[in-house]
Amino acid sequence: MQRIIAPSVLSADFGHLERDIRMLNDSRAEWIHIDVMDGVFVPNISFGFPVMKPIRQASPKFMDVHLMIIDPEKYVERFVEAGSNLVTFHLEATKEPRKCIDLIRKAGAKVGISIKPATPIEELREWLPDIDLVLVMSVEPGFGGQSFMPHSIEKVAGIRKMAETLNPNLMIEVDGGISSKNARLLFDAGAEALVAGSAVFKAADPRQEIINMLNA
Ligand code: DX5
Ligand code: ZN
């Protein structure tokens, strides 16, 4: 299985955003992870379209957009227009997962569904055949820099098992508290993409940390 690192811009220096994006452009990170928070679904507010635009302009990389907003069906098309290659919404945030899936796909992006640490993986079952990716949260969404929750490893393995029959091409991504110390366990459990915010941006050599995670 392939290994992808998706550095989270949430931990970048917003005063030097272009510099940080250029650093990622010259790194082995294939994706750029964009955390959008509305202050309602999660107790924090990050950024939206006006900040995504310069990131899209500064980088040719795959833009992996993680929506932590309620009623995402209202906005998913605009996120695709803003340059998202993948739009991931939270299953807990919408009464209309089907509508979200259809709107994202019709707009031309890949579709992801994320679940919070307490949400059982069984709730994904009915959606698995129709999506490209599951994003397993390994911290409570809302903030970077939290500690990894180890039960996420079993969740990844369980989803990988479910996907064997329902969607063998399903990608699994994990987000929260990830570094070169736990990356290997997650790749081995069946994850292909790992998000890393503080591990990358707080590292003395961020590009080397990305390599360390890939080689974990
Ligand atoms: C948390 C975000 C994460 C966060 C990860 O709600 O979804 O993407 O930025 O940051 P670290 O890697 O520092 O846990
Ligand atoms: Zn995220």
pLDDT band at 216 (very low <50, low <70, confident <90, very high): very high
The secondary element (H helix, E strand) that includes residue 36 is: strand 31-37
Rounded to an integer, the average pLDDT of 1-7 is 96
Residue 10 Cα: closest atom of ligand 1: 9
Rounded to an integer, the average pLDDT of 97-107 is 98
Q: Which residues line ligand 1 (CB under 6 A)?
A: 8, 10-11, 33, 35, 66, 139, 141-146, 175-178, 195-199
Torsions phi, psi of 33, nearest 5? Answer: -95, 130
Distance of CA 199 to the CA centre of its chain: 15
pLDDT band at 50 (very low <50, low <70, confident <90, very high): very high
- Percent of the chain residues past pLDDT 70, beyond the cut: 100
The 10s digit of each residue's pLDDT in 148-159 is 999 999 999 999
Q: What is the pLDDT of residue 192?
A: 98
Question: Which of 63, 195, 209 should be mutated for ligand 1, with most atoms under 8 A from CB?
Answer: 195
pLDDT band at 16 (very low <50, low <70, confident <90, very high): very high
Rounded to an integer, the average pLDDT of 47-59 is 96
Strand order in the sheet with 110-115: 4-7, 193-196, 171-175, 133-137, 110-115, 86-90, 62-68, 31-37
- Tokens 């900040």 belong to residue: 51
Q: What is the pLDDT of residue 9?
A: 98
Q: What is the pLDDT of residue 82?
A: 97
SS3 content of the chain, % helix, strand, coil (to 5): 45, 20, 35
The 10s digit of each residue's pLDDT in 109-131 is 999 999 999 999 999 999 999 99
How far apart (Å, rounded) are the C-alpha atoms in residues 92 and 43? Answer: 15
Q: Of residues 20, 64, 132, 175, which has the active-site annotation?
A: 175
How far apart (Å, rounded) are the C-alpha atoms in residues 198 and 10? Answer: 9
- Percent of the chain residues past pLDDT 90, beyond the cut: 100
> How many residues are listed for the chain in this entry?
216
Task: Report the mean per-residue pLDDT for the chain.
Answer: 98
Q: What is the pTM of this model?
A: 0.98
Rounded to an integer, the average pLDDT of 28-51 is 98
Please report which ligand is nearest the Cα atom of 7: 1
Closest Cα to residue 148, out of 176, 168, 125?
176
Rounded to an integer, the average pLDDT of 65-91 is 98
Q: Of residues 35, 38, 64, 132, which has the active-site annotation?
A: 35
Joined together, the tokens standing for residue 72 give 């995402």
Please report which ligand is nearest the Cα atom of 117: 1
Rounded to an integer, the average pLDDT of 1-13 is 97
pLDDT band at 133 (very low <50, low <70, confident <90, very high): very high
Rounded to an integer, the average pLDDT of 44-68 is 97
